[in-house]
Amino acid sequence: MKDWDSFAKTTQETVEVSGTKPSVYAYILIKATDSSLVIAIFILTLLFAYTGLFQFDKEQTEQINWALHASELCLGVFLGLLKPGKEK
């Protein structure tokens, strides 16, 4: 679902059969489900960044480096998922 209009049109086609009207909560649920991969990658980015910055002692440079690089990689994936794809 790209926007509310396409959701409403799809729902209107099924209204005649089922009798249900378009629901804002159903639309929000569909949008959250469509964006679940992006949300999960963003949470991983924050988790790795928090771990690298606050969970290790200053002497554990290898672990800090690993966590911050993992956060950087997740951030790259997150930004790549937000970039619109090429249209054919």
Tell me: the pLDDT tens digits for 21-50?
A: 777 888 888 888 888 999 999 999 999 999
In this prediction, residue 80 carries a pLDDT of 92
**Amino acid symbol at 21:** K
Judged against a pLDDT cut of 60, whether residue 88 lies above it is answered with: no
pLDDT of residue 9: 77
What is the reported pLDDT for 76? 95
Q: What is the rounded CA–CA span in Å between residue 61 and residue 39?
A: 29
What's the DSSP call for residue 55?
I
Distance between CA atoms of 51 and 70, rounded to whole angstroms?
Answer: 10
Amino acid occupying residue 63: Q
Kindly indicate the confidence band of residue 11, based on its pLDDT and cuts at 50, 70 and 90: confident
Name the band, by pLDDT with cuts 50, 70 and 90, for residue 16: low
CA–CA separation, 42 and 76 (whole Å): 10
